[in-house]
């Protein structure tokens, strides 16, 4: 006889091994590139908004409102958690087995900045952690998910050289060097649940109305620093530094719903929506104004503190956000018919309502339209007939406002690559999801035009848990 506890321990060990292998690959990819990113637009608001969807939907333009998948975690819409696979014994309401999903990913970005007026270019690469999410079925039509993911990223370093002149005589005085530098970002750790309020088999496909709610803690840091020095052949000047470091965080709440409506035995229409109300984050800020000098052996050393204020209380006010959309899906039939999926999302965020310690920033209201599709060939023995082929497109203005609209558009494509089933673990299902995105921010009328190529690598690992085994 094998106890339920020993079976659970075995599953946890298998999951730990898979997590370790995938995490090791992620760290190996991310390690050499971590410190090379430079995005001046991340100076504004809470920084660059990182992709907010999983790899499967990211390669379809980022559609997520009406998307459900039992083998990955759609953490945008918590109503989708009700679709995690679960089975129960006959004449029993208790869960007898279910498919638990571990979904994680990493991004590799290549960013090129171009000055439209001077045709100067700067290129930087970076690897970033994307997300780790776990999906667990609690019973049929009821599931939960938990994990952590980044929301935004701050990373820039800019040097400005200036010649200073006497305003009266026009004579040259000195040359100054000003360095602007920032780092930080924000993360969201969350846990949520999705429940089907209504479920009925109709036309061979399940009709279902689901709602979901997700709660978490949104936290982060903004560290902005300005250093200024003067270059002179005869007079030595001390360097000045101005630094503001802000840590913030508070609880976050998101809700969503999905309605799955079978149109016939092969077509399923899913309507979806999710969003959250505006939220206020508690913040603490340190402000330092000082002169310093640089020592080769000890680094930067303070000479005199002009002002040193610590633990200044304040708030960050973030706007509400909402997304609505749908997907239309045709299911594939092995050896007979291929399948496809098409979806559209629309999202909006009034970032003009953003406040940092009571002050607005150079932000504007943001909207985005996303379109995506997935094609599945007729499933046969050939490996490539079992691959999912995805592509998408999105368009909408960026939320940074520097006197004019900053247009943004992007295109994506990707693949869902199944991994062979092992005889030692016949219930495990593993997918490697790849996504390639191109994003252009700005144009020839912008201060800077930014072109971004992003390669995203995701792992979706799942296994059936809670199986009652009677014999070895």
Whole-angstrom distance, CA of residue 137 vs CA of residue 101: 9
Q: Do residues 325 and 68 touch, judged by C-beta distance below 8 A?
A: no
206: in domain = yes
**Whether the Cβ atoms of residue 101 and residue 460 lie closer than 8 Å to each other:** yes
Non-local CB neighbours of 404 within 8 Å, separated by 6+ positions = 445, 446
C-alpha Rg value of the chain to the nearest Å: 26
Going residue by residue through the chain, which has 472 residues, state the pLDDT in tens, using 9 for 90 and above: 444 444 444 444 444 444 444 444 444 434 444 445 678 899 999 999 998 899 999 999 999 999 999 889 999 999 999 999 876 655 555 655 788 999 999 999 999 988 877 777 888 888 888 999 999 999 889 999 999 999 999 999 888 877 776 677 766 767 778 889 999 999 999 999 999 998 887 767 888 999 999 999 999 999 999 988 877 655 667 788 899 999 999 999 999 999 999 998 889 999 999 999 999 999 999 999 988 776 666 666 677 778 889 999 999 999 999 999 999 999 888 878 889 999 999 999 999 999 999 999 999 999 999 999 999 998 888 889 889 999 999 999 999 998 888 899 999 999 999 987 655 555 678 899 999 999 999 888 888 899 999 999 999 988 876 555 544 4
Mapping DSSP onto H, E and C, the string for 234-274 reads CCCCCEEEEEEEEEEEEEEEEEEEEEEEECCCCEEEEEEEE
Contact 178, 228 (CB under 8 A): yes
Question: What CATH number should be reported for the domain holding residue 441?
Answer: 2.40.160
- CB-CB contact of 129 with 106 (8 Å): yes
Cα separation values, 162 from 120, 179, 232, 414, Å? 18, 11, 13, 46
Domains held by the chain: number:
1
Task: Choose among 135, 72, 78, 77: nearest CA to 105.
Answer: 72
The DSSP line for 323-343 is EEEEEEEE--BTTTB-EEEEE
- CA–CA dist 110, 320 (Å, integer): 31
Residue at 471 is within a domain: no
Is 110 a domain residue?
yes
Distance CA 97, CA 200 (A): 21
| Dist. CA 80–CA 78, nearest whole Å | 5
Tell me if 222 sits within 8 A of 283, measured CB to CB: no
Q: Could you tell me which of 82, 75, 81 has the C-alpha nearest to residue 104?
A: 75
Burial class of 55 by CB neighbour count within 10 A (0 to 12, 13 to 18, 19+): buried
Tell me the residue length of the chain. 472
Helix (H) or strand (E) holding 458: strand 449-465
Which among 399, 331, 405 is positioned nearest to 366, based on CA atoms?
A: 399
Residue 436's closest CA among 418, 458, 421? 458
Answer for the pair 43, 224: CB distance below 8 angstroms, yes or no.
yes
Residues 6+ apart with CB under 8 A from 13: none
Burial of residue 99, with CB atoms counted within 10 A of its CB: 0-12 exposed, 13-18 middle, 19 or more buried:
buried
Cα 37 from Cα 138, distance rounded (Å): 41
The predicted structure's pLDDT at residue 236: 65
Question: Which candidate, 396, 358, 398, places its Cα nearest to that of 44?
Answer: 398
Question: In what helix (H) or strand (E) does residue 7 lie, and over which residues does it extend?
Answer: helix 4-30
Full domain range(s) for residue 266: 4-465
Contact (Cβ atoms closer than 8 angstroms) between residue 154 and residue 138: no
**Is 106 within a domain?**
yes
The pLDDT score that the predictor gives to residue 89 is 57
Residue 10 belongs to some domain of the structure: yes
> What's the N-to-C CA distance of the chain in angstroms?
7
Does any domain span residue 470? no
Would you say residue 472 lies in a domain? no
- Contact between residue 8 and residue 2 where contact means Cβ atoms under 8 Å apart: no
Nearest-angstrom CA–CA distance, 63 and 344: 6
């Amino acid at each position: 006889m094998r106890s339920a506890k020993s079976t659970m321990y075995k599953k946890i060990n298998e999951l730990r091994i898979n997590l370790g292998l995938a995490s090791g690959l992620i760290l190996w990819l991310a390690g050499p590139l971590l410190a090379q990113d430079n995005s001046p637009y991340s100076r504004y608001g809470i920084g660059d908004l990182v992709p907010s969807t999983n790899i499967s939907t990211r390669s379809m333009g980022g559609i997520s409102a009406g998307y459900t998948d039992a083998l990955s975690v759609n953490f945008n819409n918590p109503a989708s958690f009700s679709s995690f696979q679960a089975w129960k014994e006959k004449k029993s309401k208790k869960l007898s087995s279910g498919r638990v999903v571990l979904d994680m990913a990493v991004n590799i970005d290549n960013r090129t900045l171009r000055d439209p007026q001077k045709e100067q270019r700067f290129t930087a690469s970076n690897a970033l952690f994307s997300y780790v999410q776990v999906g667990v079925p609690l019973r049929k039509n009821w599931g939960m998910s938990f994990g952590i993911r980044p929301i935004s990223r701050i990373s820039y370093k800019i040097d400005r050289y200036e010649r200073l002149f006497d305003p009266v005589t026009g004579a040259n005085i000195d040359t100054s060097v000003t360095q602007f530098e920032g780092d930080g970002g924000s993360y969201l750790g969350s846990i949520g649940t999705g429940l089907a309020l209504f479920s009925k088999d109709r036309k061979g496909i399940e009709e279902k109305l689901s709602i979901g709610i997700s709660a978490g803690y949104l936290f982060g840091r903004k560290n902005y620093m300005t250093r200024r020095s003067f270059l002179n052949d005869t007079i030595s000047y001390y360097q000045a530094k101005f630094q503001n470091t802000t840590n913030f965080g508070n609880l976050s709440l998101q809700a969503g719903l999905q309605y799955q409506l079978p149109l016939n035995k092969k077509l399923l229409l899913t309507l979806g929506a999710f969003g959250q109300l505006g939220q206020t984050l508690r913040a603490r800020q340190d402000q330092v104004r000082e002169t310093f000098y640089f020592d080769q052996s000890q680094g930067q050393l303070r000479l005199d503190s002009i002002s040193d204020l610590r633990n200044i209380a304040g708030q960050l006010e973030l706007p509400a956000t909402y997304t609505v959309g749908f997907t239309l899906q045709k299911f594939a039939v092995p050896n007979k018919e291929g399948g496809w999926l098409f979806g559209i999302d629309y999202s909006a965020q009034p970032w003009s309502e953003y406040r940092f310690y009571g002050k607005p920033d150079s932000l504007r209201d943001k909207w985005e339209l996303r379109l995506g599709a997935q094609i599945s060939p007729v499933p046969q023995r050939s490996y490539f007939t079992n691959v999912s082929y995805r592509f998408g497109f999105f368009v909408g203005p960026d939320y940074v406002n520097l006197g004019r609209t900053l247009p943004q558009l992007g295109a994506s494509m990707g693949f869902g690559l199944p991994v062979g089933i092992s005889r030692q673990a016949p219930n495990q299902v593993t997918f490697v999801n790849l996504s390639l995105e191109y994003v252009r921010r700005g144009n020839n009328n912008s201060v800077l035009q930014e072109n971004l190529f992003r390669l995203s690598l995701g792992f979706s690992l799942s296994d059936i848990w809670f199986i009652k085994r009677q014999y070895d």
